[in-house]
Amino acid sequence: MANPSHGQQQVRLSWPVVSPSLMASGRFLFEMWGRGLFQRAIMQSGAALCPWALREDHRQVAFGFGRMVGCPGDRADAANSTALVDCLRDVPVEQLMAVTPYITPSPYVLTPRVDGEFLPAHPATLVREGRYNRVDVLSGVTRDEGAFNARAFVEDGVMDSMIQNFSLVGPPALGFEAWDDDPEYLARLAFHRYLGPMEFDLTRIDPLVKLLGDSFYSMCHVEAVEHHARDAAFGFRAFAYELQHRGEHAFSDLFRGPRPRGTWPLWRRPTQRLLSHTDVGDSDDLQYLFSFDKLNVSLTKEEDLFVSRIMVDLWTNFAATGNPTPDLSLGFKWTPTEASSLSYLGITSAPAMKVYDREQDIEFWRNLPRKMNKLLYPDRFSQNSN
């Protein structure tokens, strides 16, 4: 079928978007030029409703970089902006990276913004109003999404800085920004709910992993899946998963190096040393779908290879048919989730369907007056709501 807007033959595409890339925001779902072009979407550890997927302070950050590296201007006029950009292009990337922590505590700097063209409005508004490209969706997280962040927090001293100067470090470190209502209050509320008193030791690494995972990945994944599940009324399906298999390799080791025996913390329990390796962290699902031989990450264990075989079949089936298990050739059925009863596939060497049983956690995060929540659920935050 011809596509007059592109002047070429239309093809069906399935688009995988993986955290923490720019496209992990799932932004193409909201871009009108993609209507009819993409038939399916695979979102791994990221959705447009996640707190890191969008920023509103690009100008402030840009001029902050300029001040730190000696580029011109504090005036936010067009001519000065052009001069700033020209100057920043000549600054070595190593210098830009070195000054980043002094400008914003958040690691997510170069993320999308609402520009009125490619992203016409805030994703939460577009979701609430149904202004997006409805497609079949496969979306999931890993069991311990916050493990990667938690390791960085402890090894890089972020936890110490947060305890000592929570007002400055706490909000962005926990996913709360200036465009949320009273971000310091919200960050403190979340910290105390998961970790208790404003202190930290390594016996509380598990609740830190849970806090970071819920704030940055898991809860926004639930929101996205629930809203996409409502598209069943239009003939589209949403399949949710959680990777629960812990393999030989962890991507946190790839990016940060192996955890030294006896030096990196008591990772899971006070009596259990690091090398138990039980966490399934952010990006750990990628190794079962793609080759990382050039990074010296190869699957060798029989169980890891078996999980890889299962996942590749599921992902391939979904891309081809819109159904990860169109028949019983894998020995199980991955059923689409329903908005009224969220379910997901627990991916192990013996996958099984499970039901979300974290209603209290979902309600806690949904009630926080983040900008995303207030746009997604305006009635919940109105003065007349009960």
DSSP secondary structure, 217-252, as one string: IIHHHHHHHHHHHGGGGGT--EEEEEE----S--HH
Contact 187, 180 (CB under 8 A): no
Place of tokens 């072009």: 37
CA distance 19 to 279: 18
For strand 238-243 and strand 136-142, is the pairing parallel, antiparallel, or unpaired? parallel
Please state the rounded mean pLDDT for residues 6-11.
43
Contact 45, 217 (CB under 8 A): yes
Please state the rounded mean pLDDT for residues 78-90.
85
What would the pLDDT profile of 226-255 be if each residue is shown by its tens digit?
Answer: 999 999 999 999 999 999 999 888 877 776
Query: Where in the chain is CATH 3.40.50.1820?
Result: 2-55+116-381
Return all residues near 210 (Cβ < 8 A) that are at least 6 apart: 146, 194
CA distance 223 to 338: 12
Share the mean pLDDT of the chain: 84
Reply yes or no on whether the pLDDT at 213 is more than 50. yes
Q: What pTM value is reported for the model?
A: 0.84
> Nearest 5°: CA angle at 106, between 157 and 263?
25
How distant is the alpha carbon of residue 238 from its chain centre?
17
Instruction: Give me the phi and psi of 296, to 5 degrees please.
Output: 60, 35
Residue 187 forms beta bridges with which residues?
Answer: none
* 338: DSSP letter: B
Q: How many CB atoms lie within 10 A of CB 344?
A: 22
Q: For residues 161 and 108, which has the higher predicted lDDT (pLDDT)? A: 161
Q: Is 230 exposed, middle or buried (0-12, 13-18, 19+ CB in 10 A)?
A: middle
Contact 125, 375 (CB under 8 A): yes
* 90: DSSP letter: T
Contact 339, 230 (CB under 8 A): yes
Output the pLDDT for position 77: 59
3-state class (DSSP) for residue 262? coil
Instruction: Give me the phi and psi of 94, to 5 degrees please.
Output: -60, -35
Contact 311, 42 (CB under 8 A): no
Output the pLDDT for position 382: 83
Reply yes or no on whether the pLDDT at 101 is more than 80. no
Please state the rounded mean pLDDT for residues 53-72.
88
Q: For residues 214 and 62, which has the higher predicted lDDT (pLDDT)? A: 214
Q: pLDDT band for position 278 (50/70/90)?
A: confident
Which of 3.40.50.170, 3.40.50.1820, 3.30.70.2190, 3.10.20.340 would CATH assign to domain 2-55+116-381? 3.40.50.1820
Output the pLDDT for position 373: 97
Residue 238 forms beta bridges with which residues?
Answer: 137
Output the pLDDT for position 385: 60
> Nearest 5°: CA angle at 190, between 215 and 130?
45
